[in-house]
């Protein structure tokens, strides 16, 4: 296969470094990728593909880190957006589509009796914690080591600009360690307002881990016995496991669910939904942002949810994801590599079982990417409804070549 060059990406990055701190920052930063071996910018997208400024096309297995779920430029979503755009976006008031979207979410998501909207996932996870505090009159929240709930001070994995006070009310537990959750609750009687969890554990720089049998049963009853609000941060997994909420996929009911990413098929929107008994507390927490009432993203979200439902998109994504997961496992084995393939099929991740320093992983993902299928080395991937069996085939052919290169390079 021909491999890509990234000259225009590098040119743009060099310009950016002069005028933007870090050039590219946050999760889009190329700092953890092999320098010069990846695209740094995206020019345009269509369906399951995007093109970089050098004109290279990628099968997008990252889906913009999750927001793309139906395909870029999806005709039905774009039609809804165009319609709303004709009316303008941001007013002195919310637009009628806000009511329609809230009704649709309450209809779609099992535990939802109300819905409230913002722009980013972090907005809603922070809000959910405040609602739990307001409702319980308690301060503490229990989260899991390695889980990501956003970039706000109480939960950011970053370092700069924080004070010790930002974290004093956050107790850290461990994924699947029910005993530790129980111990933390016991040690802080009547102090824990919320337990916040992602539906399964999807840390960066590590394999994904599903809930152990009995884990959620234990968490749910711990919350019930102690009057703790169970918040499920479905920002990443939402709408890729079960449209009724990822709690339903794992067989339990959350008290609050946070959504963002896939909700608007690339348009900026997040939502927090919750049970009726939290409605009053939900309205007691001041929650706002200049752009949060904008109708365009809400119209996009309505069109996205309807299309996901009508096309049974989750089943298709599960099928494609399973093909990719099995294919990577088999192609790796052909080259003598055991691949650790983790996560649900729609949010897969694969890494070399024989290493924990990511050296092979870095080379492997860069070589696959340079052959037209975007793989991130340290962050889980995403499947979209636009991806096809042919995309999997192309990707596995790229993997085949990439494994051979890794084998030679590392003398395996």
CA–CA dist 386, 191 (Å, integer): 46
Which of 122/361 has CB closer to ligand PMP?
Answer: 122
Which of 234/391 has CB closer to ligand PMP?
Answer: 234
Q: Does 247 bind ligand PMP (CB under 6 A)?
A: no
Q: Nearest distance from residue 336's CB to ligand PMP, in Å?
A: 34
CA–CA dist 111, 30 (Å, integer): 38
Residues between 185 and 214 that touch ligand PMP (CB under 6 A): 198
Q: Nearest distance from residue 49's CB to ligand PMP, in Å?
A: 22
Which of 133/149 has CB closer to ligand PMP?
Answer: 149
Which of 198/265 has CB closer to ligand PMP?
Answer: 198
Q: What are 216-225's contacts with CB under 8 Å, separation 24+? A: 216/247, 216/250, 216/251, 216/252, 217/252, 218/178, 218/181, 218/182, 219/178, 219/181, 219/195, 219/252, 220/252, 220/253, 222/178, 222/181, 222/182, 222/185, 222/195, 223/195, 223/255
Tell me which stretch binds ligand PMP (CB under 6 A): 228-236, 292-300, 340-348, 356-364. Answer: 228-236
Q: Nearest distance from residue 125's CB to ligand PMP, in Å?
A: 5
Which of 297/395 has CB closer to ligand PMP?
Answer: 297
Going by C-alpha positions, the residue among 249, 153, 162 that lies closest to residue 198 is 249
Q: Nearest distance from residue 332's CB to ligand PMP, in Å?
A: 26
Q: Nearest distance from residue 147's CB to ligand PMP, in Å?
A: 7
Provide the 3-class DSSP secondary structure of residue 382: coil
Q: Nearest distance from residue 394's CB to ligand PMP, in Å?
A: 27
CA–CA dist 10, 54 (Å, integer): 10
- Residues near ligand PMP (CB under 6 A), total: 13
**DSSP type of residue 67:** T
Residues between 358 and 397 that touch ligand PMP (CB under 6 A): none
Question: Which residue, chain included where needed, has tokens 């694969």?
Answer: 350
Q: Nearest distance from residue 279's CB to ligand PMP, in Å?
A: 23
Q: Nearest distance from residue 127's CB to ligand PMP, in Å?
A: 11
Number of Cβ within 10 Å of residue 134's Cβ equals: 18
Provide the 3-class DSSP secondary structure of residue 339: strand
The residue at minimum Cβ distance from ligand PMP is 121
- State which of residues 9, 260, 346, 384 lies at the interface with ligand PMP (CB under 6 A): 260
Q: Nearest distance from residue 68's CB to ligand PMP, in Å?
A: 14
* Contacts with 95 (C-beta within 8 Å, 6 or more apart), sequence order: 84, 87, 293, 294, 295, 298
Which of 48/150 has CB closer to ligand PMP?
Answer: 150
Which of 233/391 has CB closer to ligand PMP?
Answer: 233
Which of 60/233 has CB closer to ligand PMP?
Answer: 233
Residues between 97 and 156 that touch ligand PMP (CB under 6 A): 120-122, 125, 148-151
Which of 122/226 has CB closer to ligand PMP?
Answer: 122
Which of 39/67 has CB closer to ligand PMP?
Answer: 67
Q: Does 236 bind ligand PMP (CB under 6 A)?
A: yes
Q: Does 233 bind ligand PMP (CB under 6 A)?
A: yes
Which of 6/127 has CB closer to ligand PMP?
Answer: 127
- State which of residues 235, 308, 339, 341 lies at the interface with ligand PMP (CB under 6 A): 235
Burial category of 232 from C-beta neighbours within 10 Å (exposed 0-12, middle 13-18, buried 19 and up): buried
CA–CA dist 378, 359 (Å, integer): 11
Q: Extract the tokens encoding 178.
A: 């029910």
Strand 114-118's sheet: what is its strand order? Answer: 114-118, 270-274, 256-259, 229-233, 192-197, 140-144, 170-173
CA–CA dist 59, 45 (Å, integer): 10
Tell me which stretch binds ligand PMP (CB under 6 A): 231-239, 275-283, 289-297, 361-369. Answer: 231-239
Going by C-alpha positions, the residue among 106, 152, 158, 411 that lies closest to residue 275 is 106
Tell me which stretch binds ligand PMP (CB under 6 A): 53-61, 203-211, 220-228, 232-240. Answer: 232-240
Q: Nearest distance from residue 303's CB to ligand PMP, in Å?
A: 20
CA–CA dist 272, 120 (Å, integer): 11
Q: Which residues bind ligand PMP (CB under 6 A)?
A: 120-122, 125, 148-151, 198, 233, 235-236, 260
């Amino acid at each position: 296969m021909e491999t890509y060059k990234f000259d225009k990406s590098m040119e743009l990055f060099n310009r950016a470094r002069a005028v933007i701190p870090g050039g590219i920052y946050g999760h889009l930063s190329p700092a953890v990728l092999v320098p010069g071996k990846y695209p740094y910018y995206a020019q345009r997208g269509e369906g399951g593909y995007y093109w970089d400024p050098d004109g290279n096309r990628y099968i997008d297995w990252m889906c913009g880190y999750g927001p793309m779920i139906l395909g870029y430029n999806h005709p039905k979503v774009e039609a809804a957006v165009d319609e709303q755009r004709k009316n303008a976006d941001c007013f002195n008031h919310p637009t009628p589509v806000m009511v329609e979207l809230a009704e649709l979410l309450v209809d779609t998501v099992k535990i939802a009796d109300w819905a409230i909207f913002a722009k980013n996932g972090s907005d809603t996870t922070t809000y959910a914690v405040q609602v739990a505090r307001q409702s319980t009159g308690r301060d503490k929240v229990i989260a899991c080591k390695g889980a990501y709930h956003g970039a706000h001070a109480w939960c950011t994995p970053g370092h700069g600009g924080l004070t010790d006070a930002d974290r004093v009310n956050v107790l850290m537990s461990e994924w699947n360690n029910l005993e530790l959750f129980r111990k933390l609750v016991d040690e802080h009687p009547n102090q824990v307002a919320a337990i916040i969890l992602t539906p399964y554990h999807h840390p960066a720089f590590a394999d994904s881990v599903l809930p152990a049998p009995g884990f959620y049963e234990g968490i749910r009853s711990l919350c019930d016995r102690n009057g703790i609000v169970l918040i499920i941060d479905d920002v990443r997994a939402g709408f890729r496991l079960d449209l009724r909420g990822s709690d339903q996929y794992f067989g339990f009911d959350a008290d609050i669910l946070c959504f963002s990413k896939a909700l608007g098929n690339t348009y900026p929107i997040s939502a927090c939904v919750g049970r009726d008994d939290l409605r009053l507390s939900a309205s007691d927490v001041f929650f706002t942002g200049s752009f949060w009432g904008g109708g365009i993203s809400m119209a996009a979200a309505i069109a996205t949810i309807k299309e996901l439902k009508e096309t049974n998109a989750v089943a298709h994504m599960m099928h494609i994801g399973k093909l990719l997961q099995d294919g990577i496992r088999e192609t790796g084995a052909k080259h003598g590599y055991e691949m650790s393939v983790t996560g649900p099929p729609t949010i897969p991740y694969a890494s070399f079982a024989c290493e924990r320093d990511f050296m092979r992983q870095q080379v492997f993902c860069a070589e696959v990417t340079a052959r037209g299928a975007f793989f991130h080395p340290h962050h889980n991937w995403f499947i979209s409804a636009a991806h096809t069996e042919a995309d999997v085939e192309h990707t596995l052919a790229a993997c085949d070549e990439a494994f051979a290169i890794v084998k030679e390079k590392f003398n395996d």
